Amino acid sequence: MSLLDVQNLTVSHGGLALVNDISFTVERGQRLGIIGESGSGKTLTALAILGLLADNLSARGSITLDGRPLLGLDEESMCAVRGDNISMIFQEPMTALNPVMRIGRQVAEPLRLHRDLDTDAAMSLAVELLDSVGIEHPERRARSYPHELSGGQRQRAMIAMALACGPDLVIADEPTTALDVTVQAQVLSVLRDQVLAHHTALILITHDLPVVASMTDKVIVLRDGEIVDRGPTGTVFDGASSTYTAELVAAVPPMSRSSIAEAKPEGDAPAGTPLVEVRDVHRQYKLRRTSLFETRPVIKALDGVSVDIYPGETFGIVGESGSGKSTLARLIVGLDRPTSGEVHVDGIDVSAGHSLRPLRDVAQMVFQDPMGSLDPRMRVGEVIAEPLRSLGIAGDHPARVAGLLEAVSLPTDVVDRYPHEFSGGQRQRIAIARALAPGPRLLVADEPVSALDMSVQTVTLELLRELKEQFDLTMIFISHDLSVVHEICERVIVLEHGRIVERGAVGTVFGSPKEPYTRTLVEAIPRLDGSFLTPSSAAR
């Protein structure tokens, strides 16, 4: 008998089936990956197993744990199952943890609930659990509040909480999507070590194929609420039985396929006068005073950065959160000013902070979040024509808008529609069209594909590449995702804490990194061949 047996599960909202007639099993100690893009129903499946679907959703079919039916179980018995037999790890540990309760109490809570332990006993067990997931100074951390921990520590605490009662099954829903890549590697290896050590079954839900490849034994692929593919992890990705899975596999950038670096031909060394010159730029933010007698603490977002970017190249800026990469982008397009140092774009002194009008014709920007970068109250046509009007560019605006829409492969009749009527990828195309409207020479793209589904990412990258040729652009491409940068950029800088740690041609920097930090970043990338979580590289 399987540990978990899901048969003909359907989750519906009104008459609409969001998860449609899916069946799968998980054996004791087995690790199952559920793959799907947004809206595929993967999270709903998890919530249905735990009986935590929202009131307006209903589940049909059968779910049994050790032969005991869970679907239709009364609330009291279901509460006894949750946290004891099945537990869950959520995506965003900052919001999934109670902000006003100490970590130790939160980790101890399932123990007090299911093991009937008193406060002290539960708390000392909680400290042990925190220690076992690699949190340093566990006694002190147990007394901390969630906001006092780093993202990685919070997610480790979530893992400790989920494992507290030694459950038979742990469900992890995109557990590392919100984390930096190096932290992701650490958290995933902790999770894998823990479930292996306790022979706990794992359901890992993610959109990220390489993560699944390195964490699980078998896989199911969900699309629009239905299972389109299933099998042992290796064969599903190699054999690629359905076209959808084949497409997902094809969308994985080469660098995320295997740890054996694929040689990337080095382009010609850049020549001529640089389009963008950044000279010893510092950007500091002052925080509020914490004491009367000390000076105000300062955050150094950028700490002495110099870089030249030449016409026609695609230049990558990579770094983890807080590295200063977005600050650098904002300085280049004149959204912010450096504390010291100079930024010149096409001979215009951007760091002066005034008379930036000429810069607007030269440099435009594409933002990360396609939801937030378009004014929801403006029609698409107005959105794209706005820069033309603002900059007083003469000419036949409707015709130019139509031309731009065509360039980003959108039908020209969408001009009268509002942004919310489009999907994320389409919205990003509209944002790109708007950025191209004034006819810029420099396009600064800040994480332009990070909020998009994997398959949409590939298409959008392809589009950016084509537009760069068509409009003869210089592009600055900012991302946390090394494999995307590897695919699209020629030269790259790696930022850490506001400093450039390494620079050079992409193939060289990522293929044979000289600096330890770059090496850590490269090694932390999950690979489709499952090779990233080898004991040697899964360092703390």
Partner 1 sequence: MSMQEPLLIHEPPKPEQRGRWRRLNFVVGLSIVLGVVATALVSFLWTPFDPELVAADKRLLGMGERGHPLGTDQFGRDLLSQIMVGSQTALFVGILAVTISILIGIPLGGLAAARRGWVEDVVMRFSDVIYAFPPVLLAILLVAAVSPGTASAMVAIGIAYIPIVARVTRGASLSIFERDFVAAARTYGRGKTFIFIRHVLPNIASVLIVQMTILFSLAILAEAALSFLGIGTQPPTPSWGRSLRDAQTFVQITPRLAIWPGFAIALTVLGFNLLGDGVRDALDPRLESSRS
Partner 2 sequence: MYVIRRIGVFLFSLILASMLVFGVMSILPGDPAIVILGTRATPEAVESLRQELGLDRPIPVQYADWFSDAIRGDLGESVFTGKAIAPQVVDRLKVTVPLAVFALTLTMLISFPLGVFAASRHRQAGDAVVSVVSQLGLAVPAFWAGLMLVTLFAVRLRWFPASGFPGWGESFFGSVEALILPAIALAIVQSAIITRYVRSAVLETLREEYIRTARSKGLTQSQALWRHGLRNASIPVLTILGLQFGALLAGTVVIESVFVLPGLGKMLLDGISRRDLPLVQGGAFVIVGIILLINLAVDLTYRLLDPRLRSH
Q: Return residues touching partner 1 (CB under 8 A).
A: 13-14, 54-56, 247, 250-251, 330, 333-335, 356-357, 360, 363-365, 367-369, 372-378, 386-387, 390-391, 410-411, 414, 417, 420-423, 425-426, 431, 434-435, 437-438, 455-456, 458-459, 462
Task: Please choose which of partner 1, partner 2, none residue 514 contacts, taking the beta carbon within 5 to 8 angstroms, the exact cut-off set by kind.
Answer: none
The strand pairing partners of 444, in sequence order, are 365, 476
Which of residues 128 and 148 has its CB atom nearest to partner 2 in the complex?
148
Task: Please choose which of partner 1, partner 2, none residue 166 contacts, taking the beta carbon within 5 to 8 angstroms, the exact cut-off set by kind.
Answer: none
Which of residues 87 and 458 has its CB atom nearest to partner 2 in the complex?
87
CA-CA distances (angstroms) from residue 444 to 50, 123, 132, 436?
A: 44, 50, 43, 11
Which of residues 193 and 349 has its CB atom nearest to partner 1 in the complex?
349
User: Other C-beta atoms within 10 Å of 291: how many?
Assistant: 8
Which of residues 94 and 250 has its CB atom nearest to partner 1 in the complex?
250
Residue 291 CA to residue 442 CA, distance in Å, equals 44
We find the least distance from the C-beta atom of residue 456 to partner 1, in angstroms, to be 5
Task: Please choose which of partner 2, partner 1, none residue 369 contacts, taking the beta carbon within 5 to 8 angstroms, the exact cut-off set by kind.
Answer: partner 1
Using CB under 8 A, list all residues that contact partner 2: 50, 52, 75-76, 79-84, 87-88, 90, 92, 95-101, 109-110, 113-114, 145, 147-148, 158, 161, 287-292
Task: Please choose which of partner 2, partner 1, none residue 407 contacts, taking the beta carbon within 5 to 8 angstroms, the exact cut-off set by kind.
Answer: none
SS3 content of the chain, % helix, strand, coil (to 5): 40, 25, 35
Which of residues 17 and 165 has its CB atom nearest to partner 2 in the complex?
165
Token pair recorded at residue 484: 């995307």
Query: What is the three-state SS of 233-275?
Result: HHHHHHHCCCHHHHHHHHCCCHHHCCCCCCCCCCCCCCCCCCC
N residues, the chain = 540
Task: Please choose which of partner 2, partner 1, none residue 364 contacts, taking the beta carbon within 5 to 8 angstroms, the exact cut-off set by kind.
Answer: partner 1
We find the least distance from the C-beta atom of residue 186 to partner 2, in angstroms, to be 21
We find the least distance from the C-beta atom of residue 211 to partner 2, in angstroms, to be 21
Which of residues 187 and 362 has its CB atom nearest to partner 1 in the complex?
362
We find the least distance from the C-beta atom of residue 75 to partner 1, in angstroms, to be 15
We find the least distance from the C-beta atom of residue 301 to partner 1, in angstroms, to be 16
Q: Is 53:60 a contact under the CB 8 Å cutoff?
A: no
Task: Please choose which of partner 1, partner 2, none residue 289 contacts, taking the beta carbon within 5 to 8 angstroms, the exact cut-off set by kind.
Answer: partner 2
Residue 529 CA to residue 257 CA, distance in Å, equals 6
We find the least distance from the C-beta atom of residue 513 to partner 1, in angstroms, to be 29
Q: Which residue has the tokens 């629009």?
A: 224
Which of residues 357 and 514 has its CB atom nearest to partner 1 in the complex?
357
Q: In this structure, what are the phi and psi dihedrals at residue 133, rounded to the nearest 5 degrees?
A: -95, 15
Residue 249 CA to residue 236 CA, distance in Å, equals 10
Nearest to 227 by CA among 473, 22, 401: 22
Which of residues 194 and 373 has its CB atom nearest to partner 1 in the complex?
373
Which of residues 114 and 230 has its CB atom nearest to partner 2 in the complex?
114
Q: Helix (H) and strand (E) counts for the chain?
A: 20, 20
Residue-wise DSSP of 307-364: EEE-TT-EEEEE--TTSSHHHHHHHHTTSS--SEEEEEETTEEGGG-S--HHHHHHEE
Residue 382 CA to residue 432 CA, distance in Å, equals 14
Element (H, E) at 222: strand 218-223
Task: Please choose which of partner 1, partner 2, none residue 97 contacts, taking the beta carbon within 5 to 8 angstroms, the exact cut-off set by kind.
Answer: partner 2
Task: Please choose which of partner 2, partner 1, none residue 48 contacts, taking the beta carbon within 5 to 8 angstroms, the exact cut-off set by kind.
Answer: none
We find the least distance from the C-beta atom of residue 319 to partner 1, in angstroms, to be 19
Which of residues 3 and 185 has its CB atom nearest to partner 2 in the complex?
3
Angle in degrees, CA 100, 106, 112, rounded to 5? 135
Task: Please choose which of partner 2, partner 1, none residue 81 contacts, taking the beta carbon within 5 to 8 angstroms, the exact cut-off set by kind.
Answer: partner 2
Task: Please choose which of partner 1, partner 2, none residue 99 contacts, taking the beta carbon within 5 to 8 angstroms, the exact cut-off set by kind.
Answer: partner 2
We find the least distance from the C-beta atom of residue 80 to partner 2, in angstroms, to be 7
We find the least distance from the C-beta atom of residue 256 to partner 1, in angstroms, to be 17
Chain centroid, CA 478 distance in Å: 14
We find the least distance from the C-beta atom of residue 94 to partner 1, in angstroms, to be 18
Which of residues 268 and 469 has its CB atom nearest to partner 1 in the complex?
469
Q: In this structure, what are the phi and psi dihedrals at residue 76, rounded to the nearest 5 degrees?
A: -65, -45
We find the least distance from the C-beta atom of residue 409 to partner 2, in angstroms, to be 37
DSSP letter at 207 equals S
